[in-house]
Structure 1
Amino acid sequence: MAVNATTGNHMAFKVRRTSTIIDKQFQDFGQVSEEPLIKIAEILVVENPLVGRYVEDLGPYIEASPELGREMGDRLRRTLEFHGATAQSYGKAGLVGLAGEKEHANMLLSTAFANPIRELIGGEAWISSVTKVASPGTPVDVPMNSMDDVYVRSHYDTMSLFIPDSPLPDEVALIFCVATRGRLNARVGGMTREEAQSSRSR
């Protein structure tokens, strides 16, 4: 599968794999919640266009990354709709195979990549992110924060996952996670989601 970019260089990213992980939690520490916490991870594993070589100017790849963002956002939107849910928090991660460097994930996860996702599922706040060079099956804890304001403490969370046989040395795994609510037993105070939304609408 090739995701074509609309920039002048006609770059296309080769998507080798897509995957969806869904986790639904009903209780935590013996406390049952009427509203479950649903976490969704959408994964795009792409062929690393810069595998094995150092390139100083990453601009063309950053400019082409919105197409990956649109694909990711559309997958997230459809998964949320299937569960009749909306996202309240989000986060992103990138795993680079051993024949690449960390910047090969960062160039594909910038604001250029994220903005199309925001257009499809919402969100204005800064997006938590982590990247690392990894072998296949390496676990990653994807950090998440509120889509309305990073200072909403109840929505600080992670989604832990791994891809059994990815990233291969010449791959980059792009991961975007969303959650449908804050932590089940959140009770550390601070700004609420409702307060963040009210402040933003003024």
Structure 2
Amino acid sequence: MSVRLFRAVTLAALLAGVSPLSHSQCCGFGMSYDNVVVWPAPDLRVPVPSYAEAKKAPPAGLAKAKPAVQTNARKLSLHFPPDKRAEMEKIYVQSMDIYLKVEKKMGWTPRDLAGGMAAFVVGNYMVLNNTEVSDEAFAAVARQFRAQPALRELGDSRDQDKVRDVFEQSAMVGAFMALAYKSHQQQPQPAAVYENMRNAAIENLKLVMRSDPAGLRIDDSGIH
């Protein structure tokens, strides 16, 4: 996906004043918000394993069910106006492709649940704070999530379709927001447009962190 194509479609959606994932409804497995599956709230008191410790430990959970990228992209697209949904569905599919390339670059086990969750938090954090996050910090966040007992329980769930949806939706939204940030760095957008992006990031982070995103900090030691 070219940055130019991504910018054109993304800004078309953002200019419509729509913040994805902003309407909530609690139900069932963990929580689900308007077709978006949400993972358990992380416990940030859990120590972040070092690289050496992480290599000795197996992934906390893998998305083992058959991929459903198109279906999950369609679910995410429902958060945009009807005339934008077909475009956004394509963008989310492309965002998943980009995430999988990043996953490979990071050397993670394919479809590692913690990687998708880390991408979600990091991508939205970048937009919210208008700042880059290093690969080292991104990796630390992923290790932090792998150490979470709740994530291990999620990965062991019998409902592997839900685990897959958590992974794919998290990875798609995270990559989408990271690309939006990078696009803005290449060609700064009007203040009102970027404010819509920030509002979306705030809602996204509130959705999964269950805390005020303004207080979050990410560095080489993970999320604080």
**Higher relative helix content:** 2
Rg: which structure is higher?
1
Which structure's residues are more often strand, by fraction?
Answer: 1
TM-score calculated relative to the size of structure 2:
0.26
If asked which structure has higher relative contact order (CA below 8 Å, sep 6+), I would say: 2
